[in-house]
Amino acid sequence: MTLSEMLVRELESEARTTRRVLERAPSDKLGWKPHAKSMSLGTLAQHVASTPGAIARSSIPDSYAVENFTQDPEPASTEEILRVHEASMAAARSVLAGLDEARAMAPWSMTAGGKPILTLSRFEWIRTYMLNHWVHHRGQLSVYLRELNVPVPAMYGPSADEAE
């Protein structure tokens, strides 16, 4: 199995779980925040929905300026979040499908003001930020759901609300 195939396999597995979490975000609570310093439920859900595609697109060039990352707009509905998730997944699949091992292992940099602030292999960038960072924020989103008394779906085993 190639690196690309392994990444796609993990992406697809996490995407199914992520979709179940995103589906639970209530449209009428998207502005809710657990704390003044926290993102709103809608902002966090939109970030979770858009992360795979954003990270995939940023990995195409050999460097990417942090200034080019943009804040996702506040979504109007759960349906909008799910559409963003589908588009994000399509972009991630497309980029990963074309990733050969030499390109995956080549250096990739994030820059700020034209200067590198992070350099690692493209594979490490994708693995750490497309997958780990994505799952981290999905975990935050599950806590938001719990605080709103929305049943949390099973992720890596049964949740307190579901036995899958």
Domain of 57? 3-147
Distance CA 134, CA 87 (A): 15
**Of 59, 48, 154, residue with least CA distance to 104:** 59
Q: Strand, helix or coil at 98?
A: coil
Alpha helices in 59-160 (DSSP H): 78-97, 101-105, 122-125, 133-147
Number of domains within the chain: 1
Would you say residue 48 lies in a domain? yes
Would you say residue 103 lies in a domain? yes
Distance CA 4, CA 6 (A): 5
**CATH code of the domain containing 107:** 1.20.120.450
- For the chain, 164 residues long, give each residue's pLDDT as a single digit of tens: 888 999 999 999 999 999 999 999 999 999 999 999 999 999 999 999 999 999 999 999 999 999 988 888 899 999 999 999 999 999 999 999 999 999 999 999 999 999 999 999 999 999 999 999 999 999 999 999 999 999 999 999 888 888 65
Would you say residue 96 lies in a domain? yes
Would you say residue 55 lies in a domain? yes
Would you say residue 152 lies in a domain? no
This prediction's pTM: 0.93
